[in-house]
Amino acid sequence: MSDAKISLPIYMDYQATTPLDPRVLEDMMPYLTGKFGNPHSSSHKYGWETADAVERARAQVAATIGAQEKEIVFTSGATESNNLAIKGAGRFYRKYRDHMITVATEHKCVLESMAAMEREGYSVTYLPVAADGIVDLDGLRESITERTLLVSVMSVNNEIGVIQNLAGIGAVCRERRVFFHTDAAQAVGKMPLDVTADNIDMMSISGHKLYGPKGIGALYVRAGARLKLDPIMSGGGQEGGLRSGTLSPALCVGLGSACATASGEMAAEAIRLRGQFDRFVDGIRARLPDAVLNGHRHRRIPGNVSLSFPDVDGALLLARLRELAVSSGAACASAVAEPSYVLRALGIPERLAQASIRFGIGRFTTDAEIDYAIDTVTSNVTRLRKAV
């Protein structure tokens, strides 16, 4: 056995968060120790040196998505970015528009921001997805009216890893003259993104999903007079008035460094992850041929493997997989595990959805860990089935 180097439990929850890359921490360290100036202090060296660091980081974030520096607003994370995009645009344009469009499988912070706008007078269309998790472009086109302000569709789904057709959605939004916002928390640093090519007006980014620190994110806001937002935070008018409050230079530097690191390694890392994805799925299927991969077969990022195991009690299986840090496809808010709303939206039968597990593969996953995970999953599923 080669698992002497494996430390248990094996981390396979990369969609929930990622560990901070040591190279990113190294870049952050000077701003957690000696360089403590307020980046908004413009009259002395302490402020200048941290302001410079913040602007270098802003350029790194912008470069990752094909944006300009002035189009990047630092926030506390993708939750805040999604709130700012949806509520900010909604409130600014309230007198002119009263309809927004999103998708049933979005992250809660998008859905709850939309619900807040419904309470403020907007009507919201929640588009369904096909069984593969992809939004239908014709359905999107038909739901846009002259009262529609914006369309918000996530780039990559956090539960099943499917990639939406950003270029197609962007083209529809441009043709119908509505704003296009995308929650790219699971996409940035993992796949090439180009806000100009795909006609994206706003994009939400999260530091801790791409090996950066927690508590930092960004909202890309297309420059030009066309797109205006009402800020959520009132105060000193930092970040072009869109996000008041003193920036954390260490966290900004961490986000910039994480973006630059991920961009530089993206092509090679995607190939490595694809290999581990195939190794994992093939390994599971060799012993459990009826395991179902949730989401589109090909339009997906390799780091997210959502699998359903027929004829197994999902709660029991998760309890048995103590050696893996994974998350289930069920929301355990109540004593009875309910299938997640994302799996439900795919039309996955309840008995399958309750036995779904999301395995995350990431930058620090080793082949030995993949093999260990295959072993423990297949042996536990087999044992649970025999026990019935």
Ligand X SMILES: *Cc1c(COP(=O)(O)O)cnc(C)c1O
CA-to-CA separations, 281 to 34, 122, 316, 373, 384, in angstroms, rounded = 47, 43, 21, 11, 20
Q: Which is nearer to ligand X, 206 or 308 (CB)?
A: 206
Q: Which is nearer to ligand X, 327 or 365 (CB)?
A: 327
If one asks whether residue 78 binds ligand X (CB under 6 A), the answer comes out as yes
Q: What distance in Å separates the CA atoms of residue 59 and residue 219, rounded to the nearest whole number?
A: 13
Q: How far is the CB of 238 from ligand X (least distance, A)?
A: 19
Tokens of 284: 């599971």
Q: Which is nearer to ligand X, 58 or 320 (CB)?
A: 58
If one asks whether residue 113 binds ligand X (CB under 6 A), the answer comes out as no
Among residues 109, 173, 252, 332, which one is catalytic? 332
Helix axes 249-287, 367-387, angle to 10 degrees: 50
If one asks whether residue 154 binds ligand X (CB under 6 A), the answer comes out as yes
| Chosen residue from 186, 248, 261, 378 binding ligand X by CB under 6 A | 186
| Chosen residue from 97, 107, 190, 296 binding ligand X by CB under 6 A | 107
Tokens of 347: 């039309």
If one asks whether residue 254 binds ligand X (CB under 6 A), the answer comes out as no
| Chosen residue from 84, 185, 291, 317 binding ligand X by CB under 6 A | 185
Residue nearest to ligand X (CB): 77
If one asks whether residue 217 binds ligand X (CB under 6 A), the answer comes out as yes
Q: Which is nearer to ligand X, 78 or 127 (CB)?
A: 78
If one asks whether residue 304 binds ligand X (CB under 6 A), the answer comes out as no
Q: Are 163 and 133 in contact (CB under 8 A)?
A: no
If one asks whether residue 213 binds ligand X (CB under 6 A), the answer comes out as no
Q: Which is nearer to ligand X, 180 or 372 (CB)?
A: 180
CA-to-CA separations, 65 to 15, 47, 216, 326, 380, in angstroms, rounded = 20, 28, 17, 29, 42
Q: How far is the CB of 258 from ligand X (least distance, A)?
A: 12
If one asks whether residue 159 binds ligand X (CB under 6 A), the answer comes out as no
Q: Which is nearer to ligand X, 155 or 380 (CB)?
A: 155
Q: How far is the CB of 150 from ligand X (least distance, A)?
A: 17
Q: What distance in Å separates the CA atoms of residue 6 and residue 300, rounded to the nearest whole number?
A: 28
If one asks whether residue 362 binds ligand X (CB under 6 A), the answer comes out as no
Q: Which is nearer to ligand X, 11 or 372 (CB)?
A: 11
| Chosen residue from 58, 87, 209, 358 binding ligand X by CB under 6 A | 209
If one asks whether residue 199 binds ligand X (CB under 6 A), the answer comes out as no
Q: What distance in Å separates the CA atoms of residue 125 and residue 102, rounded to the nearest whole number?
A: 6
If one asks whether residue 158 binds ligand X (CB under 6 A), the answer comes out as yes
Number of residues this chain uses to bind ligand X (CB under 6 A): 13
Residue with token string 């090909």:
298
| Chosen residue from 77, 249, 254, 329 binding ligand X by CB under 6 A | 77
Q: What distance in Å separates the CA atoms of residue 367 and residue 372, rounded to the nearest whole number?
A: 9
If one asks whether residue 183 binds ligand X (CB under 6 A), the answer comes out as yes
| Chosen residue from 109, 250, 330, 357 binding ligand X by CB under 6 A | 109
Q: Which is nearer to ligand X, 206 or 238 (CB)?
A: 206
- Is 252 noted as a catalytic residue in this protein? no
| Chosen residue from 79, 164, 328, 365 binding ligand X by CB under 6 A | 79
Applying CB under 6 A, the residues found at the interface with ligand X are 77-79, 107, 109, 154, 158, 183, 185-186, 206, 209, 217
Question: What residues act catalytically?
Answer: 332
